[in-house]
Each structure stands twice: as structure tokens, then as C-alpha cells.
Amino acid sequence: MSILTEADRRRSFAVISHPDAGKSTLTEALALHAKVINEAGAVHGKGGRQGVVSDWMEMEKARGISITSAALQFSYRDCVINLLDTPGHADFSEDTYRVLSAVDSAVMLLDAAKGLEPQTLKLFDVCRHRGIPVITFINKWDRPGREALELCDELVERIGLQPMPLTWPVGAAGHFRGVLDVPGGDFIRYQRTDGGATAAPETRLDPATAEAEQGEDWVRATEEWELLAASGGEFAPERFLDASATPVLFGAAVLNFGVRHLLDLLVDLAPKPAPRVDADGEPRPLDAEFSAFVFKVQTGMDPAHRDQVAFARVCSGEFERGMVVTNATTKRPFATKYVQQVFGQHRSTVDKAYPGDVIGLVNASALRVGDTLYAGKPPVRFPGLPSFAPAHFAVARPADLSRAKQFRKGVDQLAAEGVVQLLKSDLRGDASPVFAAVGPMQFEVAAHRMEHEFSSPVRLDRLPYSAVRRLSDPAQRSLVDSGRRSEVLTRADGVDLALFEDEMAMRILVRQNPELTLEPLVAEG
């Protein structure tokens, strides 16, 4: 098949939500319905089953939360699904932002009892900024929660997104009977399975039979849907694709209720790969020569080998394993001998890939987040990925000085992956790097991985800084370093960051040195 035909078969999306809304459970349920796993296991391995396939890191299994993005690829109907599960915790929003750069749509997962929560709002803002169409899946309808109409009203009032339900719940939250299939008008009744371990059987009933069986619950569901439709809630595909409205589905991922509808919606209506704009502002045709960009680097997915995997989104052309491509950042060739499809921690060799696919490049120590890979001429480069303004800082030192070599290797690796930002200063020297993080849990991850993957336990001494600015003129470095409550640290990309104990300390120093030029630190790509 041609490159364009293959691209048309791809669907690449991310799942976003607040922590504990059920992202990893939904990811696993989607894989179950696509028949790529035989049995679902709850996050904590309920019933003796294994934990969710997308949570492969030991800390994730222990805590029952996702702290690193996972890539899953599988087939459903005639499509190839590239599903990226993202960490919901706010401390890892930088990782989520990178993942959103690699997808064409997103599934926004809401807890039926909580609706839109703070982290969901932040991630939706990223989707809005990038023009990413969003499907809303209201989860946990098997538990007590809010009214369906109230949740839909919240989408309009808080984020200005018109809900367009494609299913509507029959039965209040906590008394889930099934859903009204809006396009067809029928009732779809779900049947529970033992612990939700297998795909839930469905029975389709016509409206008359549904009313006779479900009574008031069916009547109420149809009336609520008609009310919403009258206020602009009828489905219009163009409004979904231009990100001005969102299809809405109701379900319970842990029971596999409503999951098939979501998969079918993604195949039928989610956007296909489109030409991606390069750093010069020019869209690169899908059938141009191969190009891709690295959005994530991960080490330790296979503890037996400790290899490094760079996840890249294919933007154009046909990828063939073994081809030699150019890294636009270093201008050096990169041999793609070991390339894998990823399904959680399980991987298989891939020989070809097409626009929209996510590939895992193994033994990719020469690659960094934001790198562009391309074949042929002329060269191409896609816009870089941002570094967020850090809010927490800690000096890292090896707990065992005899492990200095392992310490340096681990520090460099964590920085390359973006687990933490790495800062250095003339005053502290290379032996005492500073970890900078958006949230403090990043320090926990860094310390855990340093001990268990690199055999170099670390001591992290927190620094008292809470205000950070970009130092415009490197010649003014001494003005900040001479302060008792401030210092300058240099990020890996060469940007000088002026750190202050608090905003007051910064204002005092500026008042004393009016020539000092500081700029707000914004996300830079």
C-alpha cells in the first residue's frame, strides 16, 4: 500500500485527566476490546491478575499511579492505534506536554463524581493551544456521582466546549443500566463480567422494548438527551475536528462498559495524520521522505538490558528498519538497526512504520527529546519541545563516593530523558549538579531510579529558592551570585537561570542593581 493509504489507517491519541480518574484502567480496557490482551487486571493486580500493561515502572506498580507516559500500539478493525497514556499528576505535566505534541487527538477522561478537575483543566488548555480535537469520556458511571446534564453544562461553562453526546446513560450514576445509543436511538444494555476481567457483553434493544424494560430510567434518558440536543448538542463532525465541540461518551472503564463505543469513535471520526509544520513554518507532506521527531527518551524499560529507548513520532515517509537517518540537531548519522513496537513493557521488532506511528529506537544514547530525524535532502527540522519553568531545586550528591562513575552516568541519563532539568554553576562545580523540577515528586522518581537502575543512591539537599527568572546578560552573573539569597545556575541548553529565595529577595536585588535585566521564564521550544 502507498504511504498515504497507510497514513489514513493510523490513529494517534493521548488520554488526559486528573489523577485517579482511571486513565490506566481505560488504556487497558481499550486494549482488551481490541483483543490484544485476554484479561484485564486492576491497577493493584486485583484478583491475582497482573497490573495494568501501561504501568511498567516499579514505582507505578507500587503506588497505582502513572508517573511516566506509556506508548501502546495495536490494531483495531483496519486501523493501527497509537495510544499514549500520560501521567495525570501535576508534577509530571512537562512529560504530558511532550506527549501531546505527538498525537492528533485526545481523550479527556472525567470522573463522574468530580467532573473537571484542576489538572484536567491545565491539560485541556494545552490541547486548546495546539488545536487538538478532544473526545470526552465520563468514567465511573457505575459509582455514585453527579447528574449527566450537570457534567455537560460544566463543559460549556468552564472551558467553553459544547458537548455533543453520542451515548447517554440510562440510570443515574451508581445505578448504570446501559446507554442510549444516540445516533441509532436504541438501548445498549451492558452485562457485568467477573471483576471486569473480560469485555462486557452488550445487548441492543429497540426503543419500545427499552421503555418496557427500563421504564422511567429510559424515559428520563431520552428526555435529557432531547433537551441537550435542543440547546446545540447534536453531533457535527466538523465541530469536533475544529476543536470547538466535544463528542461525549458515558461508561465505566473498570467494567469495560462503553469502551467499544470509544474505540469505534476513534476509528470512524478521530483525525488522521496530517502534514506537520516544520521549524520554518512549512507543512511537510506525508509522502515526503522519512522524517520524525523524538518526544520522549526512556531508560530501564527492560531491567535485564538497561537499554535506552527514544520514542519518535513518524511525520512523513516510510520508515524501514536499518535505514540510516540524520539527526538534525547534531548533523550526525543515526543507524536504526534496533526498532521496536511497544506494548507497555513488552516489545517486538518493527520493520516498517508510517506517518502517525510511534516507534521505539533502541540503544539511542545519541538522541535527546526534541531531536528531528530525517532521510535524504534537503534537511528538515521540526520545532523543539519546551522546557517548563522549574519551581523546586535540590543539590544532588552521591551517597557513596565510590559510585561516582555510576552517579555521573545516572545524572546525565535522567537529564537526557527530561525526568529532571539539570543545572550547573561555577560556584558548585560539576560534582554537585542541581536538579530542577516542576513538582517535588520528580525528585522521588529521580532518587528511586538512581538507586535501583544506576546503583548509585543519592542525597538530595533542597535549595530554598522559589522564584526564578532568565538572566538576559551573562555579564551580570556576578550581581546575582553576590547576593545572599540568590545565585545563577546554567541549564543544559545554555540558558542562565537566576534563582531567588522569594519574590521579595529578587525585588530587593533589582532595586540595589537597577541595571540588572531579568526576564520571565516561559516555555521555550
Question: Is 87 marked as a binding-site residue?
Answer: yes
Identify the pLDDT of residue 69: 46
pLDDT in tens, 245-261: 999 999 999 998 999 99
> What CA–CA distance (Å, rounded) separates 229 from 404?
65
> What CA–CA distance (Å, rounded) separates 273 from 356?
5
Question: Is 461 marked as a binding-site residue?
Answer: no
> What CA–CA distance (Å, rounded) separates 343 from 335?
23
Q: Could you tell me where in the chain the CATH 3.30.70.3280 domains are found?
A: 392-519
pLDDT in tens, 118-149: 878 878 888 888 889 999 999 999 999 999 99
> What CA–CA distance (Å, rounded) separates 83 from 14?
6
Torsion of the alpha carbons at 358, 361, 367 and 373, rounded to the nearest 10: -60
> What CA–CA distance (Å, rounded) separates 428 from 424?
7
Buried b (16+ CB within 10 A) or exposed e, 489-508: bbbeeeebbbbbbeeebbee
Does pLDDT of 302 surpass 80? no
pLDDT in tens, 461-497: 999 999 999 998 999 999 999 888 899 999 887 889 9
Give 276-374's CATH code, choosing from 2.40.50.140, 2.40.30.10, 3.30.2290.10, 2.60.120.10: 2.40.30.10
Q: Which CATH superfamily is domain 13-67+87-269 in?
A: P-loop containing nucleotide triphosphate hydrolases (3.40.50.300)
Question: 215-219 — which CB contacts under 8 Å span 24+ positions?
Answer: 217/170, 217/171, 217/172, 217/175, 217/177, 218/170, 218/180, 218/187
pLDDT in tens, 65-76: 443 446 788 889
| 3-state SS track over 327-378 | ECCCCEEEECCCEEEEECCEEEECCEECCCCEEEEECCCCCCCCCEEECCCC
Does pLDDT of 298 surpass 90? no
Which CATH architecture describes the domain 392-519?
Answer: 2-Layer Sandwich (3.30)
Question: Is 89 marked as a binding-site residue?
Answer: yes
Is the separation of the CB atoms in 292 and 313 below 8 Å?
Answer: yes
Q: Could you tell me where in the chain the CATH 2.40.30.10 domains are found?
A: 276-374
Cell of 190: 451492558
The counts of H helices and E strands in the chain are 14, 31
Instruction: Please provide the average confidence, as pLDDT, over all residues in the chain.
Output: 85
Map residue 232 onto helix, strand or coil.
helix
Q: Could you tell me where in the chain the CATH 3.40.50.300 domains are found?
A: 13-67+87-269
pLDDT in tens, 266-280: 999 999 999 999 999
Identify the pLDDT of residue 274: 96
Does pLDDT of 222 surpass 90? yes
Question: Is 85 marked as a binding-site residue?
Answer: yes
Question: What's the predicted TM-score (pTM) here?
Answer: 0.78
Distances (CA, A) of 285 to 11, 258, 289, 294, 429: 17, 36, 9, 19, 47
